[in-house]
Homo-oligomer: A and B are copies of this chain.
Amino acid sequence: MPSPETPPPAFAALRVRLKEIDDLDAAQRVLGWDQETMMPPGGAAARGEVLATLSRLGHERLVDDELLALLRELESWARERPREDDGAAIVRVVRRDVDRARRVPPELTAQLARASSDALPVWKQAREDDDFPAFAPHLERNLELRRRLAACFPETEHPYDALMDFYEPGLTTAAARATFAELRAGLVALIADVRAAEPPAPPGGPFDVDEQRALALEMARAIGFDERCWRLDRSVHPFSQSIARTDVRVTGRFSEHELGGLFAVLHEVGHGLYEHQQDPALDRTTLGTGVSMGIHESQSRLWENRVGRSRPFWSHWLPRAQERLPALRTLDLGGFLRAINAVRPTLIRVDADEATYPLHIVLRFELELALLDGTLAVADLPAAWNQGMRELLGVEVPDDRRGVLQDIHWAFGEFGYFPSYALGDIAAAQLWEAATADLPQLEDDLARGDASALREWLAARVHRVGRRLEPGELLRRVTGSTYDPAPLLRHLRAKFAELYGAPAR
């Protein structure tokens, strides 16, 4: 028998198969990026076909019997090795992916895809027309199919466990409920305090878009963007797509009227850095990528909010911003920070500030659970939405367009995805506490425009781990606990106390 130090021949055979699977995925990433940024509209139909073919070929390879046989052959070898050993992690994580993929019948996968693509145009029109009943049958169909998808994993305690697992491996509904209940209570109280004061207005423009782009690039470079391995392009909605560890694409969109585009670039560069700083040893293994949507979002939110809305960061960047954007010259650092950190409950999730954003997520999480449980009927969803917005944020929803119809996720049938956003906020705060404990000079660094120590800390503690550890394990190792909203609540209380003199509970 080979010693645990020498990978058995089956491991080399496994690696060959994983390269092929990873390459097919990389091709889809290029095609997806191109579709959003470059493709002329006439290319859409053909692109859909090509992407479907590549996706099918990748899936076929993942559920191939010979791959499973190789994994079985390697199991005892892998179990003798340390949990984070590359070989052990590859066998374990791929086995999990394979098992999950094999559980879903191809017919159901096809139905899910068809239901999404049928629902998408209907949702768009319904949102435009403020006509929830037009969308409702598609939402029913998506729910029904997702219930069937969840039923492929009967060992889970709650069907939502099975759905959330696609985005956040290992997180249970019970754990998420507890986390979100604590988050909800803390934020509702905090916001009630902060809202007493009239929030400062956001910085007033006009802001030249080319100057904003140049400034965003300067900031991005300070974080880790470099032209040898990165691109910044325009797209309708900002996003990040890593084609390879050394080929990372982020997009942005700037408006003359506000600075949201700057923060969006910081956000996307945070996502990109997570992929760029993966361990080369995991290249083409399917493990050299972000471990979950929640941890991914923690990286984007960390750079967008924890760095990008902080006093040290802007003490360096505000003078530079004022050179490029003269409209900012009327603000001093304190006024600018108050303006970019204003708390203002709003109707639209994607426009929400750092403090109110997670409550938009809590609402969606609670509604998804109720829909899946059957305790909430689709027909009653708009009323439940509006009631939730009233309770959580104190706002009245004037129409479904700005209410229950605002997000694309349910049109795609992606139940279980929304929690990732709030988990990202939570984890970002946990990681920030750990980073500042390890790096006492961090604020000084940022005030000098130097993000290298933070970047390297993230590489060592989070990025290079890839998918070797599950998100909960990773967080526990780095921060001492799994998802825990306390650091986020502490941060927000302290921050608003400083900015607005709100009571620090």
Contact = CB atoms under 8 A, between A and B. Distances in A.
Nearest to A283: B46
A53 B243 contact: no
Interface string A27-70: 10011001000111111011101100110010000000000000
Interface stretch (A222-230, A340-348, A372-380): A222-230
Nearest to A34: B30
Contacts of A54: 23-24, 27
A244 B47 contact: yes
Contacts of A230: 40
Contacts of A23: 49-50, 53-54
Interface of A: 19-20, 23-24, 26-27, 30-31, 34, 38-43, 45-47, 49-50, 53-54, 57, 227-231, 243-248, 283-284
Nearest to A52: B23
SS class of chain A's interface: helix, strand, loop or mixed? helix
B246 A43 contact: yes
Contacts of A24: 53-54, 57
What 9 pairs between A and B have smallest CB-CB spacing?
Answer: A43-B247, A46-B244, A42-B246, A42-B229, A23-B53, A23-B50, A26-B50, A42-B228, A27-B27
Contact of A42 (B34, B41, B45, B247): B247
Contact of A27 (B38, B50, B243, B247): B50
28 contacts: A19-B49, A20-B53, A23-B50, A23-B53, A24-B54, A24-B57, A26-B50, A30-B30, A30-B31, A30-B34, A30-B50, A34-B34, A39-B243, A39-B247, A40-B227, A40-B246, A42-B228, A42-B244, A42-B247, A43-B229, A43-B244, A43-B246, A46-B245, A46-B246, A46-B247, A46-B283, A49-B284, A57-B57
